[in-house]
């Protein structure tokens, strides 16, 4: 499996609680030939999929490193190994896009999961022992993985969301709960008067509100409109 290095940052979400040892890493699996990565601490969940670069374009792998697809792959790479994997292959900007990947040997070797990356000048390799324990059925949280016909979707700016959340935290403090509201009708001044149907993109305001003692704070985010190449909030 060819894994973009930045995906190992998912480990920031993994659990560090000893009672949740099965969640102490990033879970990688292959389903119907497609790669997936998921991470949860039992309270929040992040999952990703990506289009793999052709393995044939990657520099020659060392003898015994088997990167052949395993259709039943399901392995959890521990947090420490993920932190190291982010830095594998050198710190320079890769001269070729293919070098931004970490290769995982999908068939374990002596109970380990070999990871390899190179910048053509040097090669880094890790052989972490997978996290033990049954990983949760994270797909049940996404009835249709990352969207689909069962849910309406809203596209919002990550930058705007971060700025809003950071501002709210500076006022009410971290650890407070936020209520997220999606406007479901046309009585909100929205330019989109249509009834909301499953699968439709939401073109209506998304409101975040929080309360702490005597302070109530609210924020409104407008979703992106139009096609991806012309998205504007």
- The domains of the chain are located at 2-141, 158-230
d(CA 196, CA 205): 13
Q: What angle do CA 93, 96, 99 make, to 5 degrees?
A: 75
d(CA 204, CA 221): 9
**pLDDT averaged per 10 residues, the chain (length 233):** 92 90 94 91 87 89 88 94 90 78 84 92 92 89 52 72 82 74 53 52 70 73 62 49
Q: Give which of 225, 224, 228, 221 is closest to 163, Cα–Cα.
A: 221
Q: Are strands 206-212 and 115-118 parallel, antiparallel or unpaired?
A: unpaired
Tell me the residue length of the chain: 233
- Quick check: 65 and 74 in contact, CB under 8 A? no
Q: Does domain 2-141 have CATH number 3.10.150.10?
A: yes
pTM, to two decimals? 0.74
């Amino acid at each position: 499996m060819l894994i973009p290095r930045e995906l190992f940052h998912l480990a920031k979400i993994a659990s560090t609680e000893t009672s949740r040892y099965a969640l102490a890493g990033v879970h990688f699996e292959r389903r119907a030939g497609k790669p997936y990565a998921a991470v949860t601490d039992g309270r929040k969940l992040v999952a990703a999929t990506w289009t793999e670069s052709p393995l044939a374009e990657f520099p020659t792998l060392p003898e015994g490193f088997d990167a052949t697809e395993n259709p039943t792959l399901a392995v959890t790479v521990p947090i420490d190994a993920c932190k190291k994997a982010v830095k594998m292959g050198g710190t320079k900007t890769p001269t070729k896009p293919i070098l931004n990947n970490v290769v995982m040997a999908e068939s374990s070797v002596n109970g380990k999961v070999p990871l390899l990356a190179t910048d053509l000048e040097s090669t880094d390799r890790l052989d972490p022992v997978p996290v033990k324990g049954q990983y949760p059925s994270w797909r049940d949280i996404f009835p249709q993985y990352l969207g689909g016909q069962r849910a309406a979707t809203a596209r919002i700016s990550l930058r705007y969301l971060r700025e809003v959340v950071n501002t709210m935290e500076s006022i009410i403090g971290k650890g407070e709960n936020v209520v997220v509201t999606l406007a479901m009708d046309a009585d909100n001044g929205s330019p989109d008067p249509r009834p909301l149907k499953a699968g439709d993109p939401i073109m209506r305001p998304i409101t975040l509100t929080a309360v702490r003692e005597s302070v109530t704070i609210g924020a409104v985010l407008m979703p992106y409109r139009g096609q991806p190449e012309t998205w504007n909030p």
